[in-house]
Structure 1
């Protein structure tokens, strides 16, 4: 019986898992092919080269890390409630959000040495900060300096061991303190 064909997403998810477990040195065609029990030919069927694979990983990460979250928050009725919902999403572990996605800290570590990844991280940061600015402005809270405080907390919690177990959720608490600066 033949193995099922691997899709580009199968390779990308394998790459995210390899990145989280072993770092960017694991993002090579041969290493990934061994990991999924396939050939390098299958990898190159979907991606022109390893750099193309890296681009595809970053495109998917940006989609899931920004666009999908903003879209998920769109139905939430008020900007204050969207900020609160965002804090709840941010409290979840990467595996709870998407078991096929590397932790953001692994991507940020990779960005220190890889210009393509750095550009994507910079773009994601800019988009997220712009979104926070817009939510705070809509909530009648001055975005400066609060959007960067929220974002720094969000990023920092990802690297803090056992941060998902903290009670109360530090990001939720910070957002409530910020929202209290300007009553609805």
Structure 2
């Protein structure tokens, strides 16, 4: 069977999946090439080495898991801040298919300072966005920051607990309702 030429995005998407399953150790170029039905040399058309590949995988994950989520939520600006919080929470609690990506990124960051700093920036971006929404809902800055920390910590624990379960729209809605009540924001219909 002839080998296909895998695109850069093919490599990155598979890399995100494999990183979430086993971290950097799961990114074995030969195995990935076999899974893509491609040759190992196509990897080097796009990435000079595995280090650059890991960097691109993490950048794409950040775009999908943080930047794009925030951008989609910002498009809801015509809605009330309460509704924006509700929609953000629904988005957060509707997705649990990312495996252990965050765990492996945290682990990688322990040994490589640039990834530790990148993770700190990602988490700060998430917390700041939620805090800003909560301030628009009427919380003081201090209350908003504390509530954001609680929401994010709760989400991380929830994710760990339910990452291998099927999440329904109803269960995501229940989580959003629970969190909104906990942080003192009414549901906006």
Q: Normalising to structure 1: TM-score of the pair?
A: 0.82
Q: How many residues in Structure 1 have an aligned counterpart in Structure 2?
A: 177
Consecutive unaligned residues of structure 1, counting only runs of 5 or more, are none
1:89 matched residue in structure 2: 91
Q: CA 1:103–1:92 in 2, change beyond 3 Å: closer, same or farther?
A: farther
8 Å Cα contact 2:22-2:104 kept in structure 1: no
What is the Cα-based RMSD across aligned positions, in Å? 2.6
Measure how far apart 1:157 and its partner are: 1.2
Q: Distance in 1 between matches of 2:72 and 2:172?
A: 25
Give the alignment's TM-score, normalised by structure 2: 0.80
Hey, what does 2:182 align to over in structure 1? 177
- In 1, Cα distance between equivalents of 2:161 and 2:112: 24
In 1, Cα distance between equivalents of 2:104 and 2:176: 21
Higher relative contact order (CA 8 A, sep 6+): 2
Please list every run of 5 or more consecutive structure 2 residues that lacks an aligned counterpart in the other structure. none
Q: CA, structure 1 residues 167+91, in 2 after alignment: closer, same or farther (shift >3 Å)?
A: closer
CA distance in 2, matches of 1:54, 1:19: 9
Give the structure 1 partner of residue 158 of structure 2: 157
